Amino acid sequence: MPSSFGDLTVQAHHLVSAGDLAGAQRLLSDALTDADPRPDHASPELAEAPGCRRGC
């Protein structure tokens, strides 16, 4: 599994481009389960991931 949210986001974009939206959603859902939900604590990479989870 990729090591950062940036890597996860890139991988999710590739999955969506390949037509695997469900795979991208699973990947990001699993990764975001333990993420701090407070926006003021999110890195730019983490801030992009939930939007991608909804459909890049």
- Predicted pLDDT at 29: 87
* Helices assigned H by DSSP within 1-56: 5-17, 21-32, 44-53
**Every domain of the chain and the residues it spans:** 5-53
pLDDT digits (tens, 9 = 90+) for 16-34: 999 999 999 999 888 878 7
Please indicate whether residue 16 or residue 39 has the higher confidence score (pLDDT).
16
Residue in this structure with the two tokens 């991988």, named with its chain if needed: 11
- Predicted pLDDT at 53: 54
CB 27 within 8 A of CB 15: yes
